[in-house]
Structure 1
Amino acid sequence: MLVTNQRLDKLAALRTMFVDKGMLPPSHDTKTSVAIDGSDDEDDDGGAIDEVVTGSVVLARRPAQGYESDLSGLADQLDQPDLPLLVRRYLFDQLHPESPYEAEALPVHALPIVRGTISVFHSALATFYAPSDKSGHRGMYRERIRSNPNWHNTGPRRDCVLVVEDENKVGFSGMSVVRVELFFSFKYNDTSYPCALVHWFNKAMRHPDPDTGLWIVKPDLRGRQELPYLSVVHIDCILRAAHLIPVFGRKPVPKPFSHTHSLDAFTAFFVNKYIDHHAHELFTL
């Protein structure tokens, strides 16, 4: 096995040399290459890649099975009654980006109707430039973002991500944290829309916590019933995964306590910028 690994490393190095010298195209695929289009096994959490790509987020290649294919049926199945309305608002914003009207302010009959097939996915792959972390020789890294109702039979896993809201603002000032409740896609007028149903988090302060240097966020809950504020966003808005640490109170965490309920059990979270070099660079801009 050691000899095999050595030979594979030598072949990968030879391929890299050929690409650098222009003897092979950058997109040349080999058995040692790692797919970046979501076609790999979803048990793979990601890692360093050598392909020449721009930062992007793509849905897994294979849709999940067992879901309703129409929007209304899917909303009933997932107990998300507002999903059809949120998708219609999202589609209006996509079709009319220059509209002076906000989709939330428009009556329902003014919104486009989605009649196509809905495909649900349990994960997406984020690819970004992170040369300071363990990455490919071109500085690219990828990670898998999951939104799975029963991950490895341990309960639901709904990862949090960073969403870019204003590219003109530096660091976390132009971003927000959201929790991915659902990855899905649909077609409208022969155009595919990969998107995500997300639960928003609000910044607790206008600046990081002075004691820890970390930003604090709180789940956006509205109304008397404090229901999660949800919306649908295009996956192009997603930058990468976000790691949240609960802001613990004075009382100890009760036992037994499952980690799958952490994002629901606490009212505030630190956004961990020390999870890796790339995250630290983002939050220190």
Structure 2
Amino acid sequence: MDTDINRVVLWSAPRCLSSVFYRSIATLKKTKHFIELFSGAQYFGPDRRSDLYPSIQDSEIDLEGLSVKDLSYETMKKLLTADYSNVDLMFTKELAYCLPESMYQDMVTGRFSNFRHTFLIRDPERALYSNYKALSKHQFNDLYLDPPTGGFHELYKFYKFVKEKKGTTPVIVDAGDLQTYPDETMKVYCEAVGIPFDPKMTSWEPYSCPIAYKMWIDNWFDVLNQSSGFIKTKPGEQKPVPLHELPNEVVKRIENSRECYMEMKKECVKLLI
């Protein structure tokens, strides 16, 4: 593995603006970027752990020439640690709940020792409300949320593991800061992980991002492909989440996720504003 390549992973829970964060990083040159490799193993490959999505065909995959039978966790780890020519940065955004706890140790030792694990959080009210609405719209098996926990417990668990094993606090960004102060937030993030900041990282021309699993393009990435940058909001401008529209089970999961969010929020990057 080429140790000169800066290898950065952004871990998040669903609907925390991680895809637009990925789109921001994708504006940089000499970058090899992936999006949710472990989600492919979670939902489609031989190590499949969820039946949320139907099975897919080889023709529905656009990922380094891989077929469905190749979408294993071990293959995804090989993609992350492979050598890539003319590349300064290897970046991937991943959902923490798609990483089995049995793999935690692998992700911080050996060939992954030099990886920078970073985290993106969002107020659970906004994240889980958005996830519930999206799942309801696409009628995925009538599930309220995927994963059932909302994803914050797994995110917090892996964050604590990385912090303990590395002996330092990982970089954490709050999606609320990203929306209110996109330039300042991306500048601080980039400096913290050794990525050169470019103003184009917060404002870009719309284009269709290469998505490995084609069935997700219309379901989850249609808004991203039409975007031209972060949607900036003023402090306190966002409307309250209409919790009364949600089933009690979703509200309970929001409440159960809040402690994880608040503990990580304490360690968020400090903005220069």
Which TM class, normalised by the smaller chain length? under 0.3
- After TM superposition, the score normalised by the length of structure 1 is 0.24
- After TM superposition, the score normalised by the length of structure 2 is 0.25
Which has a greater percent of helix? 2
Which has a greater percent of strand? 1
Which is bigger in relative contact order (C-alpha 8 A, separation at least 6)? 2
Larger radius of gyration: 1
